[in-house]
Amino acid sequence: MRAARSRAAAVRLLESAVVYPFSAIVGQDRLQLALILCAVHPGIGGVLVRGEKGTAKSTIVRALAALLPPVSDESGTRPARLVELPVGATEDRVVGSLDLERVLRDGAAAFRPGLLAAAHHGVLYVDEVNLLHDHLVDLLLDAAAMGRVHIERDGVSHSHPARFVLVGTMNPEEGELRPQLLDRFGLTVDVAADRAVDTRVEVIRRRLDYERDPDAFAGRYAAVDAELADRIRTARERLDAVSLDDGELRRIAALCAAFDVDGMRADLVVARTAVTHAAWRGADAVTEADVRVAAELALPHRRRRDPFDAPGLDDEQLDQALQQAADAVEPPSDRAPDPGDAGPDDSGPDDGAPPDGPGDGAVPPNGRLGAGTPGSTPQRLELSGVGDGAPGRRSLARGRHGRVVRPDDSPPQRGLHLIGTVFAAAPFQRERGRVGGPLRLAAPDLRGTHREGREANLVVFVVDTSGSMGARARLSAVTDGCVTLLRDAYQRRDTVAAIAFRGAAAEVVLPPTSSVDIAVRRLAAIPVGGKTPLAAAMYRTRELILRERARDPRRRALVVLLTDGKATGGAEPVSRARAAAALLAREGVGAVVVDCEHGLVRLGIARDLAQDLGARYLALAELTGTAVAGVLRAAA
How far is the C-alpha of 313 from the C-alpha of 297, rounded, in Å? 9
Work out the burial of residue 473: count CB atoms within 10 Å of its CB; fewer than 13 is exposed, 13-18 middle, 19 or more buried.
exposed
Contacts of 48 by beta carbon, 8 Å cutoff, 6+ apart: 129, 168, 169, 170, 177, 182, 185, 187, 188, 189, 301
Is 114 strand, coil or helix? Answer: coil
Q: Of 100, 73, 95, 77, which is closest to residue 85 (Cα–Cα)? A: 95
How far is the C-alpha of 149 from the C-alpha of 169, rounded, in Å? 22
Give the helix/strand (H/E) hosting 458.
strand 458-464
Give the helix/strand (H/E) hosting 126.
strand 123-127
Contacts of 176 by beta carbon, 8 Å cutoff, 6+ apart: 130, 307, 490, 514, 515, 516, 517
Work out the burial of residue 412: count CB atoms within 10 Å of its CB; fewer than 13 is exposed, 13-18 middle, 19 or more buried.
middle
How far is the C-alpha of 254 from the C-alpha of 40, rounded, in Å? 26
Contacts of 552 by beta carbon, 8 Å cutoff, 6+ apart: 389, 390
> Which active-site residues does the annotation give?
265
Contact 299, 261 (CB under 8 A): yes
For the chain, report the end-to-end CA distance as a whole number of angstroms: 57
Contact 502, 531 (CB under 8 A): yes
Alpha helices in 461-533 (DSSP H): 472-491, 516-524
CA dihedral 139, 140, 142, 145 (to 10 degrees): 170
How far is the C-alpha of 20 from the C-alpha of 128, rounded, in Å? 21
